Amino acid sequence: MANFGAERLFIRVAGALDFDPNEGIDAEQFAFIMVCDGDAYDRPSLQDHTFAPCDQPRWFPASEGLGTVRAVIAEMEKKLGASDLEQRTQLENKIEVLRVVEDKLDSIDLKDYKFHFLARDLE
């Protein structure tokens, strides 16, 4: 992804859907999660699937995105036990956002479509 202020993050799909792939996703929180996921070393990060409007996007199988989102969720769930109340609430909110993204990507995968994440600023 180019040097870009990612303040919102959306799912884009290569194919026609009978549902809105972004409905129910807190786009600002999703962008924050993606920006913080840049240090992944043993798995693809959310940033690997993210493009700015000025980038030439690549399309990925939704199953790849599902694997990445599920890995991020698993990492956050591991942190829950050692978290204080404030951290726990923040992690639970992030997991909730990612569960919605997971559900959307799962539905996209069932249709065998490809996706990428589109980062936008608040303009």
* Averaged pLDDT, 39-65: 92
Contact 90, 29 (CB under 8 A): no
Q: Measuring CA to CA, which residue among 14, 47, 30, 44 is closest to residue 98?
A: 30
How far, in Å, are 12, 14, 61 from residue 58 at the CA level? 11, 10, 10
- pLDDT tier at 1 (50, 70, 90 boundaries)? very low
Nearest Cα to Cα of residue 95 among 72, 64, 65 = 72
Confidence category of residue 6, pLDDT binned at 50, 70, 90: confident
Give the span between the Cα atoms of 8 and 118, in whole angstroms. 8
pLDDT band, very low/low/confident/very high, at 60 (cuts 50, 70, 90): very high
Q: If we measure between CA atoms, which residue out of 61, 67, 76, 75 comes closest to residue 109? A: 61
Looking at residue 8, the DSSP 8-state letter turns out to be E
The per-residue pLDDT for range 87-114, each reduced to its tens digit, is: 999 999 999 999 999 999 999 999 999 9
pLDDT value for 94: 97
Most confident stretch, 50-59, 97-106, 113-122: 97-106
pLDDT by residue (tens digit) across 13-48? 999 999 999 999 999 999 999 999 987 788 999 999
What's the average model confidence in pLDDT over 75-90?
92
